[in-house]
Structures are given as structure tokens and as C-alpha cells.
Amino acid sequence: MYMLIATMLAALTTCGGPPEAWTYQRGGAPEAARVRHLCLIYHGSNNRVEWTPDAILPYVAHVDEKGKPTDWLFDSFLLLEFRCDNGAMLHHYSQGKVQATADDWAWLADCWFREKTGLAGMESAVESAGRVLGQPDHQVNIVIALPIPLSPIREFGPLPGHSGKLDFSKEEDRFSALQWYIDRVLRHWRTARYRHLRLIGFYWTAESIPPRSNTIVETTAGYIHKLGYKLFWIPYFSAQGVSEWRKRGIDATMLQPNYFFPPKVESDRLAKTARKALAAGCGIEIEFDGRVFESQERQDRFWAYLDAGVEYGWMKHALLGYYEGGNVVKRLAETPGAGREMYDALYRFVIGTYQSSGRTKLTAVTTAPAD
């Protein structure tokens, strides 16, 4: 099936279509700051994993059954949070619910830089793995999530160090808040002086971009580019804006298949994801969570993502994101039997040597024009 996709891509190029059409966004491309495998790390609120060096080590490095690093694993990490401890959402508006305040935005900008967890834990984990692997100067890429200035909020702030409240129905006020947040994160980053972490960009946390958000995304992307960084995005399967992400100034996009989560899901969802990602020129997100420990069905869905990666070409040829629910990669590494098997398979998938398990019946990808 992979040869089928390669053939149809060649045919599309040969028959006069633009070569950027019907191809994944490639992992390691300069436009994505050479990211290949971006793992999502949820960090901030009090119900999240304590990302200490021990917790994050099986993510930065493949470890053996005794926890000793044998090779590097994910090359890049997205730190994100979308909810405060009081329930306020940082990227989605719900009428009648608690809304994020300026203090919440400040808390978010500061939370990545805690003394022993988050980025500090990752710094120590990369350093210790580098000593074992004989690569003491190894670095991983870091992307930081943005809060979203929600237009129904008409009185926001004042932000620390500023006077007066902001009205998020106004584009200039929305951008002012985002500019303040980005600048605060960068001040923390410069102070921290990490040796093993490389900040490469920011993440648009809203998973859909409707037309009313086009301007703020474009303005924010322009500011991020001016500072020398990239803007990343991971939309859900049916999100708005997927076909126009480059027009918004976004540098790297990974499409969510949303195949792992529903009680029932269409059998050809992964094929449809491959088709949509090829048409939109974006990458793919691999998805699983703690339910892989609960049923054979969820384990089969885990294997399906990897098998589809081989069959549809995204294992070797696409920019890839990884959603794992928090602490699940570590649990896989430490669970004998099926857990350890999945962890080692994930490692082989990352380095590009995984071979299809044969568990998954996959649908062919068609080449009809994008909707």
C-alpha cells in the first residue's frame, strides 16, 4: 500500500499538479525547525504528572527493562496546559463558566519554569541520558503553548506591569495580551539558561481555526517569526482551517486522526486521515492513553496507528506528534508483557525500523480532489 501512495504522488506531480500538493509535511524540514517527533507534555495544573527527571527520562531516551537509556527517543516536546486549577479554560470559551484572568495567564507563563519539574526536569533527564549515551551535549527541541484571547471576554486584566483592562473583542487587545505572554516566557527562558533544551517556537492551542480567528493567528505568527521562532498547530480531524494553515502563517501542523478515543469509530478513519493530511500537506498525530492497559480493543487501536504509519508512509515521511495522555509512555516501559512490547514498538517506529504487526486491516487511500 505504501508503494501505491508513492506511485499516486508521483503521478500527481507528473500530470502537472503542484509538487507540494498531496504530500505530508516532512519530519525534519527546516520550516518545522527540523522537528521529527513532537511529544505532548501536559504540565501546570495540580492534576498533571509531576514531570521530574525520573518521570520524563523514558520519553527523552529509550530505556531498557532496568531503566537504563539505550538510545534517544523523542527529539522534541510540546509543553501545554489548557485548564487552570479553578477550572478556567485557557483556550475555549464556555458561557457561564469561570474564565481565565490575567493572573492565570501569568501563572501559565511561569509554570513551565518551576524549580524541579517541567522544563527543569527535562533538562536534568537529557543531561543524565547524555552521560550514559556518550553524548553530553545533546539537545531536544521545546515548543510552548499559548493561551487564547477569547473574544467574548470584554474585561481582561490589567496584565502585570500594565495599566488598564483589555477588550478581547478588539484584535489589537487580543494581540497585546499574546505579545505580553510571549515576552514573559522569553524572559524566563533567557534567565533559565538551559544547556540541553532549545526553544524553537510556540503552539496555537485552539484545535480549530474558524474564519473569525484568521487575523489574530496571522498577527501572532508574524510576531513569533519576527522573534526568530516557529508556530505549531495540532487540529482535530474535522477542524476548520486545516486546508489553509500555511496561509495563517503556521509553520508546522499535525492532524489528529481521533481514532483511538471514541467508543465506536469508522474503520477507514486512518485512511481518511492520511488522505486529508496528504491533501493539506501536514503531518499526523499518533494518539493513545491509559486505556491501552484496559482492553485488547484499545491495544489494537494503538497498533493500528503504527501499522498505518508504515502502510500510508507517515512513519518515515511525515512530521509526527504524539499524544499519550500523561505518564503512559513511562508506564509502558515499566509494564512487562504487552506494555513493554508497545514501548519497544513505539521506539522502533520513531527510529523508522518498525514493521507492520499484521493486526490491522487498512483501507486504500483514494486520490479524489480535497473537499
The predicted pLDDT at position 367 comes to: 53
Residue 366 phi/psi, 5-degree rounding, is -85, 170
Could you please report the per-residue DSSP string of 293-338?
Answer: GT-HHHHHHHHHHHHHHHHSSHHHHS-EEEE--SSHHHHHHHSTTH
309: nearest Cα among 348, 251, 267: 348
Using the predicted structure, report yes or no on whether residue 7 has a pLDDT greater than 60. no
Rounded CA gap, 338 and 246, in Å? 40
Report residue 76's pLDDT band, with 50, 70 and 90 as the boundaries: very high
CATH number for the region 2-351 comes to 3.20.20
The predicted pLDDT at position 151 comes to: 92
pTM of the model: 0.92
Residue 186, H or E segment: helix 171-192
- The contacts of residue 76 (CB under 8 Å, 6+ apart) are 35, 36, 37, 38, 39, 140, 141, 142, 143, 200
Rounded CA gap, 335 and 338, in Å? 7
Per residue in 292-304, pLDDT (tens digit) is 999 999 999 999 9
Rounded CA gap, 38 and 29, in Å? 13
Using the predicted structure, report yes or no on whether residue 91 has a pLDDT greater than 70. yes
Could you please report the per-residue DSSP string of 117-172?
Answer: STHHHHHHHHHHHHHHHT-TT--EEEEEEEP---TT---B-PPTT--S-B-TTSHH
The predicted pLDDT at position 366 comes to: 64
Per residue in 61-73, pLDDT (tens digit) is 999 999 999 999 9
Report residue 5's pLDDT band, with 50, 70 and 90 as the boundaries: very low
Using the predicted structure, report yes or no on whether residue 12 has a pLDDT greater than 60. no
Contact 277, 318 (CB under 8 A): yes
How many Cβ atoms sit within 10 Å of the Cβ of residue 138?
18
| One-letter amino acid of 27 | G
Contact 204, 250 (CB under 8 A): yes
Rounded CA gap, 23 and 284, in Å? 12
Buried b (16+ CB within 10 A) or exposed e, 213-225: bbebbebbbebbe
Using the predicted structure, report yes or no on whether residue 321 has a pLDDT greater than 90. yes
